[in-house]
Structure 1
Amino acid sequence: MMLALSVGALVAGAAYLMLDRTFLRVIIGFVLFGHAVNLLLFSSGGILRRTEPLGSGPDPAVTADALPQAFVLTAIVIAFAITVYMLVLAVTGRPDEDAPTEEAEEGPTPDPAEPDAPSDTDDRSGADDRSGAAPRTTDQESRA
């Protein structure tokens, strides 16, 4: 029962970390998931009769099943290789991959070639355009 709870806790932690946006947490979640799978494969060989694969004799009652142990060894090697590959991707990725850009925060900049585009230097009203208030017009602008 304790082994099943351990596998469940590792899978839950791995799922929580893999759903995060940062790449390092995804890698840690993958490592936790690899450990959970290793425990699950290892428990499939029988937890009550886990001794050396070739016991004192060819009696199947005292020997452990060697196939799950071979699967776990293979899974450890594959998980290690994929973890190293993902760490290399994390190091060589774009430096500000998760950080929001300034353009996304402020909005698009107006094109200076367009005559109707509002500019930051052409602020006649003194009010901030982003506030949503209507711009005030002067007497000369209303006569034109």
Structure 2
Amino acid sequence: MTMPLALVAVMVVLYAGGVYLLLDRSLTRVLLGFLLVGNATNLLLFLTSGSFGAAPLYGTAEPEEMSDPLPQAFILTSIVITFGVSAFILALIYRAWRLARSSEDAVQDDEQDAALTAAESLTTEEVTDEELASTPEFPDDSDDDDSDDDSADGAGEPGPAGGVGEGARS
């Protein structure tokens, strides 16, 4: 198995350029460096796959004449991983660009925030058990709340359906 010297030189140049760009602080150059390293890795897998042969289908050729499908699967996996990480780095670049424009991403304080900041201490209102019981947990189930109040108040009294409430069963 011999490797073409020109492809090995291209792979080395891609790795060298990619690592050089990865070490830069600019996210755009990091992205370009990552893409170069990804392509160099694909070329490395391609070069190490061996000689070309017949398609790896059972019954079409002898096993010695077939090419190995594993490096092809590795190259496809490498392409997918490179695409996913590149999309993530592009999202980081876009977000960094948006944050660099300070006029659009500034948070404005409203009146309530200013009042909370100026207050010396925060006060809370005490909620009683009666207020909690009278407040429905789910606003759409107003009919169910009335039946729950009836059965909870009168233990042993008939409920709305004529049965005995929850308190009498225990």
| Residue in structure 2 matched with residue 95 of structure 1 by the alignment | 100
| Residue in structure 2 matched with residue 109 of structure 1 by the alignment | none
Structure 2 spans left out of the alignment, 5+ residues: 102-170
Letter in 1 for 2:15: V
Aligned residues: 95
Give the whole-Å Cα distance in 2 for the aligned partners of 1:49 and 1:12: 28
Q: Structure 2 vs 1, CA of residues 36 and 51 (structure 1 numbering), >3 Å: closer, same or farther? A: farther
TM-score (norm 1): 0.60
Question: What are the within-5 Å matches in structure 2 for residues 43-54 of structure 1?
Answer: 43-46=47-50, 48-54=51-57
Letter in 2 for 1:88: A
| Residue in structure 1 matched with residue 163 of structure 2 by the alignment | none
Q: CA RMSD in A?
A: 1.9
Structure 1 residue 65 and structure 2 residue 68: aligned? yes
The ranges of structure 1 where at least 4 consecutive aligned residues each deviate by more than 4 angstroms after the TM superposition are none
TM-score (norm 2): 0.51
Higher Rg: 2
Q: CA deviation at 1:54?
A: 3.1
Structure 1 spans left out of the alignment, 5+ residues: 97-144
If each structure's helix is expressed as a fraction of its own residues, which one has the higher value?
Answer: 2
Q: Check whether the contact 1:53–1:65 (CA below 8 A) recurs between aligned residues.
A: yes
| Residue in structure 2 matched with residue 117 of structure 1 by the alignment | none
Letter in 2 for 1:73: L
